Chain A
């Protein structure tokens, strides 16, 4: 009988129920889209921010100490270097897949036409096959995406070529294609780059060339790493101070989450004598932007849910007032308040679920439109959104029904049955 009454009510009140379902569709589709984007946006925003370079640097622990204590950087501060052979080990850590790009740096000073200049040796590009069989394509080119290059980038084995910062090039009147001599080694200028920073006064060359000029075979001074990270929370900040202060459970949680401090910790486990440190400015900016983006999505979800609840509330209350005589009759026939409330809630919930299913799939569509428009790629569908949306749908429908429920509870059969 209960189902028969619900079915017939739904059919009889189809225009109102369609309005309620439509409201739910709008709310759920927006919530689904925002939450899918929110959950998928972390990696996407991180990837977008990777154009601003590395967010982790690795250097020898003694060099890091000098830098930390005295603020001293560059060649001559100490004679401790990392091993080039260790660089590829970065991809072997637990969060190896989150390490998007990296490049070793060997910085030093050399003679150019009688004056001393800074040179940087690096992997302009690096192609390798890892022991796991994974193909690796990385290098400084991927970490300096903002560089404006006149000419061309150095290639992987371009040991006879160099790139020159545009300030140094104009100062020395060097052009693309010119031959220059650095510490008696002959090089051809392949490109002139504009970094917008300190590197504009430096010369970039392959790592073997720099190691040869600086007489540091197999050595690198720094490794720049670009990794996808999760914004820091209290646990990450506590771990960053001292991982040993964590309980075993906290340590496991921290270690298995892509916090920048956890990735740094894991890098130190594979790079001999290396100290990995987040480039705080970049890492924190990423976290801040990500947190603000997430907050925006959450706010939109909350506001759309409130909007839906208000609209549902109006529609349900109007429907219940219209049916007050019928519902009052049920009370007169012996229905308890809770039975009437259950009847109305069941009708609304069924309508809500129907609207929710349609809204969910529409929301997935909206998420993909947002993904394509904003990030140029599809948003991965998070299954947990179904559960969250179901909870939101339930709460929104329930909260939206509160005024109607209060009206029902106060409804006196004597008033509606005598037509007052």
Chain B
């Protein structure tokens, strides 16, 4: 395993991963002012969701339109802790019940609900960030994959779940803050998260965690599990007949993507300073899929770049061409799907890498290291457009 990891790191990951690391850790902080850097920090949290989708969708062949649910749950878990810290009796003394979050007071709650209690403690909140999304993903995934629901059906059911959670959060505003969300978060264990220096620290935390997450996912891709996922995506039945429990593997990768989304959500809350149901719903969930699609659904690093690029585009276009930016976003989606099904990373794989290889072989008359064949050993399926595991929309019931 270790050897495989090293091979992966050398042949595929090293360059692009290092490039991403340099961009995130050195280039952006040097070039951008604190405002833009804060934006990048925010976009990076979507990067977590995007790499989760690479694992789930690119490798597992399962498209979830409900990643916003997990992003939101992670974010809310974090926000609950921060809100409780911000609602000490001293700063909430104008309320009729001091010491509880302001929105609860407005909704005539007179005591902290029991399920909020554990979130007074940071370790519990951090655990919640990871466990709550993962657990929900497990319940949904296990129920659906055991019954061999896949493809479009899975997408639509997860979408419905995103809608349910949004309506629920908005409707239960005494407990959740409603449409406004949980706002006005100030400090983390007494450390003011709104200052520029705090934002810089959080930026680095976010970047490093993201890079680590990519390494982790890369390791999974190169492990036997990754191979199995690919095999499952392309010929599910054969994997099943070989004696593997397909449903469990799919559930695992769904949980993984949910966990990553949850971490992203928590970091989002920390950097932006609030959490609201507008990240849980259908639209943000689809946008998250778009990030992965633009960057390349088979490439972890590509997906992060996709998340950064789409969001940059959104911010830039909406600042510069407020009337046209929806058109440009539309063109981006359609263009990527029609022309570059493997996204930007696919573009690099199919055009730039062969060109580089040719250039290198032409130049290198001298004997090269044998372990460097011209086209890098991309996972087999990355070379061709990834067909979803189930070719027809009706195929999910086949046995």
- Chain A complexes with chain B: no
